[in-house]
Amino acid sequence: MARLPKGLKPLDKGNAPKRARSAYFLFCDSVRASSEQDEEMAGKSMAVASKVLSARWKALLPEEKVPFEQQAAQLKVSF
């Protein structure tokens, strides 16, 4: 990354995302929305919840991942 001349600041892009969300993160968002009723994740730390979510993602069949992958592909194109 090139350095800017002294006195100049880089442009602030605010909270804009750097890339589109992946299928895994779209899955996590959908599961977290209903995680309050889930005994496995309710009231647990974020680390425990992440481990549970990753195990669930790995256990999904390829057919069950398709909606999330399609949504991620659409977001990638529009990004």
C-alpha angle 23-31-78 in degrees, rounded to nearest 5 = 35
* Confidence tier at 73 by pLDDT (50, 70, 90): very high
Whole-number CA gyration radius for the chain: 18
The string of pLDDT tens digits covering residues 9-50 is 777 667 777 788 899 999 998 888 776 677 777 777 888 888
Give whole-number Cα distances, 56 to 15, 40, 49, 61, 64, in Å. 29, 11, 11, 10, 11
